Amino acid sequence: MIDVSSLTSQLRAVVQAQPKQLKGDVVILRYDGSGPYVSPPIAMARWNALHVRVVPPSGTNISATVRVQGSFGGGAGADLSDPNAVVTNVTTPTTLDVVVGTLWATVRLENVVGTPDPGQAWRIEATPYVAAAQSRQVATVL
């Protein structure tokens, strides 16, 4: 039997202990390479979504695929179920809002092609935030 009163008070304590901040610090990354790139892990423990802005460098035939991945251990990421987590053929500044639902997220640049102008680089801005979405879904089969 579940003690609803006790469960309610425990839940209330957890909710009240949560920070009132809805957005985390912006992580700004710069990549001037020519092959695939994986960002350092971005902490998502207090957030359930990630806003990513990708600005390609100026140059000739610049293009890439941007992929947001999640993980629970901060290591190699896995693809997320959010269909907004992958954008192909990025040639102009692009934004993604992705429901993450894991403890860590990474931003990947794949299929990077083209020749950047001297001194130019890919710019990635990632901001974790609280979205109006359910995260960390858990199903129990009895």
Q: Give all domains of the chain, ordered by start, each with its CATH number.
A: 22-129 (2.60.120.380)
pLDDT at site 75: 73
The encoded tokens of residue 114 equal: 């083209």
Question: In this predicted model, which residue has the larger pLDDT, 123 or 13?
Answer: 123
**Phi–psi pair at 17, nearest 5 degrees:** -80, -15
Rounded CA gap, 22 and 44, in Å? 12
Q: Would the pLDDT of 11 be above 70? A: no
Q: What is the pLDDT of residue 22?
A: 84
Which pTM does this prediction carry? 0.77
